[in-house]
Structure 1
Amino acid sequence: MKTYLQVHDLWNVVENDTEPPPLRANPTIAQIRQHSEKCSNKHKAMACLQNGVSDVIFTQIMACESPKQAWEKLKEEFMGSDKTRQQQLINLRRDFENLIMKKFETIKQYLDRIMATINSIKLLGEDLSKSRVIVKVITTLPEKFE
């Protein structure tokens, strides 16, 4: 959804939640059009958010006054509160640290499990360095791969 709004140059409207400044005295036609377009961006962003969700979710955001308010409600619904996300992050870090290759697992299967955990961590806003991932893989491979 964020990418969709960015493509349509509407993400700033959601993120900042600001109204365009009022027109100055004696505006030109171009200034009037530009102001009108900036004013309609809030409605466009809200329409994108509302159209991009199911009917059940729509009923939760339909009363929101601004795209930012709707985004925050969606974020809370799908990602949980900050406290919930922190707990999920702690659990995923622990899972990452405890990952080891199983005896009858292929390297591809093991890397898929590692990448799934890493992607979940990234979705919660933390990034693991490539070197840390490489060290993890190398140190947890069975001896037969040395």
Structure 2
Amino acid sequence: MTPAVSQVLADLAGRVARNAAPNIPAADRAGELGLSALLLGLAAEMWDGAAEILAQENADLRALLAAGAKVWGEDTRRRWLDALSQGRDESLRLSALQSANGELKVALIALHAELERRDDPEARALESQIWRALVAASDRRRLSGSPV
């Protein structure tokens, strides 16, 4: 799990406060400063693209749920997926995008579990789409210095 930028910044605030003490050995302080610089760079990179990443992922998830609503057999779940797929991101605030993303992922997990129980061509095709979307979401979150 990737920590949220806010968590990284809170950790860095603690590191800065601890390293301001005069009794910290120079080698320890240098190591902490190097780690802090690295984390600040990574946080800056993630912060810059976070809204775009979440908005794109939410759109992708809604498209998958719309497709899932067409193949789901049970009526209540089909209506649930359809309602979620019709939603839209009302705000570009990260907290709002993350909240919507969490709700959409819960529905995707339910859909994926249903598809794995089935053995028909529609289910297999949609399951493949889900896996491609998950790989694309992972690729979007890859940091520039990532070796993979």
Same fold (TM over 0.5): no
> Bigger radius of gyration, 1 or 2?
1
1 or 2 for the larger relative contact order (CA 8 Å, sep ≥6)? 2
Specify which structure has the higher proportion of helix.
2
TM-score of the aligned structures, taking structure 1 as reference length? 0.38
TM-score of the aligned structures, taking structure 2 as reference length? 0.38
